[in-house]
Amino acid sequence: MTTLESTAAKTLVEALAPAGRRPAVEVAHLRKAYGSLVAVDDVSFTVTEGEIFGILGPNGAGKTTAIECAIGLRRPDAGTIRLLGLDPHADQEQVHEIVGVQLQSGALPAKLRVGEILEEYRSFYRDPADIDELLDVLGLSAKRGDYYRSLSGGQRQRLSVALALIGRPRLAFLDEMTTGLDPQARRDTWELIEQIRGRGVTIVLVTHFMEEAERLCDRVALIDRGRVVALDTPARLAAQARGGKTVRFLPSGPFGDQLLTSLAEVTRVDREGQHVVVTGTGELVNAVILALHAAGVTARDVQLDSSNLEDAFVKLTGKNLHSEGVAA
């Protein structure tokens, strides 16, 4: 079973982190209730500087509430929050200068032009980014003179990301940044995020896109009903979901299970009628095929089933993240 971020895991993360890498986000025992509804219940996680950290969960899981508490928009009922060592309430002014935020479903005045909006928000910061460069990277250069109301959903979303980054933050919270984007725009935005992380910006990503989390995130917290149900790298979470990959094949002739169970990659061998199902990790297919070949057996009808983050989510919460997420 996956653990909450235990003390041991924390020590490990700190040990592995390069020297000088400090925690960018520290959330400990965060709790927030609206009346009798507990939206966030004892949530703890730490994001290291330079990391892309994913917060994944179905609608109503408490992701947005957790983020709103973290950035100081809401006061938590309990728990402590530090952003780059600062308290989001007590050190509000400094936090706003170095933390960029893109909230879900925030619109802008219809009759302002893209360039005018960016110039306004740029003037809020002491050391802002260059508007032309930001527009270029986000693919909005041609839209600089257009009214906000004439932008497509994807363009509005990218402008919103641009506003979160215009102050050249050291830490950025992006809530559902690629919702409503077409696949190409989504991939472009991912590239941008990786580029910005390459400059040392820490990124906290709230998402319900598995592909996004698997592609971008160094670590992912799965949140369900206000709690962190798992926190690990996407690959390890996926591996835990099924105990690894499975290979299913039809052997050309009989062989003993011992042939495969002796392999380091194989954890178990099952027989389903004529078919053999091998569960394991690593370069499982190669190892199995090579061992069979050495014994003079050929594998036909080979099917590889590799579990992913989505399987991990279904297993941990009993919910289908994807179908609930798309509705948003």
Partner 1 sequence: MNSLAWPRPRQLPLPGAPRGAAFGTIVLNEARLARRQPLPLIGSIGLPVVLMIIFGEIPSSGQVVSTLGGLTLFDVYLPIIMVLGLTMLTMLGLPGPLVSYRELGVLRRLSTTPVPPSWLLAAQVVVQFCVALAGLLIVNVTSIIAFGAADPKSPAGLALSSLLAIAGLFALGLLVAAVAPTSGSVNAIGRLAIIPLLFFAGLWLPRALMPAVLQDISNYTPLGAAVEAIQDSMQTGFPPARPLLVLVAYAVVFAFLARRFFRWE
Nearer to partner 1, 43 or 196 (CB): 196
Give me the least distance between CB of 133 and partner 1, in Å please. 6
- Identify the three-state secondary structure at position 170: coil
Supply φ then ψ for residue 301, to 5 degrees: 55, 45
Binding of partner 1 by 184 (CB under 8 A): no
Supply φ then ψ for residue 17, to 5 degrees: -65, 135
Distance from C-alpha of 285 to C-alpha of 238, rounded to nearest angstrom: 18
State which of positions 56-85 bind partner 1 (CB under 8 A). 71, 73
Mask: binding to partner 1, 237-266, rule CB under 8 A, as x and -? ------------------------------
Count how many Cα atoms sit within 13 Å of the Cα of residue 328 in the half-sphere of its side chain: 21
Q: How far is CA 128 from CA 118, 137, 165, in A?
A: 11, 15, 9
Query: Residue count at the site for partner 1 (CB under 8 A)?
Result: 47
Mask: binding to partner 1, 103-142, rule CB under 8 A, as x and -? x-xxxxx-xx---xx-xxx-xxxxx-xx--xx-xx-----
- Asked if 254 and 248 touch (Cβ cutoff 8 Å), the reply is no
Nearest to 206 by CA among 26, 54, 30, 52: 54
Nearer to partner 1, 147 or 255 (CB): 147
Residue ranges binding partner 1 (CB under 8 A): 71, 73, 86, 93-94, 96-101, 103, 105-109, 111-112, 116-117, 119-121, 123-127, 129-130, 133-134, 136-137, 163, 167-168, 170, 188, 191-192, 195-196, 199-201
